[in-house]
Amino acid sequence: DVMGRIYVAQEGINAQISVPISNFEAFKAVMDSFHWLKGIRLNLAVEEDFKSFYKLKIKVRPKILADGLNDETFNPADTGTHIDAVTFNELTDRDHH
């Protein structure tokens, strides 16, 4: 009774699925049985009509996000430097002439 859509690509997995609440703990146990999924963040929402999805689709895609970028040098793991709110405000308040 798992319904939804799952996209698998080199950069990761994006999934939106519906699991009956009576099977949720069993579902989570299966997820945790894979070391690379153990403790994965699950966002939970409760549906009243139980019709979020009508079937389960799993697709392998070249990219999760169809952004049209084909730059092989792009690395989504190469992120910027985290700054706090005070530093951000100081940077945006600078006079940029």
pLDDT in tens, 70-84: 767 777 778 888 899
Kindly state the average pLDDT of the residues 87-91.
Answer: 91
Q: For residue 96, what pLDDT is reported? A: 66
Enumerate the β-bridge partners of residue 97. Answer: none
What's the rounded mean pLDDT across residues 54-76?
Answer: 80
C-alpha span between 41 and 94 (Å, rounded):
37
- The whole-number average pLDDT for the span 29-53 is 83
Tokens 């579902």 belong to residue: 27
Q: What pLDDT band is residue 54 in, cutting at 50, 70 and 90?
A: confident
Across all residues in the chain, what is the average pLDDT? Answer: 84
Q: What pTM was computed for the model?
A: 0.59
Amino acid identity, position 62: P
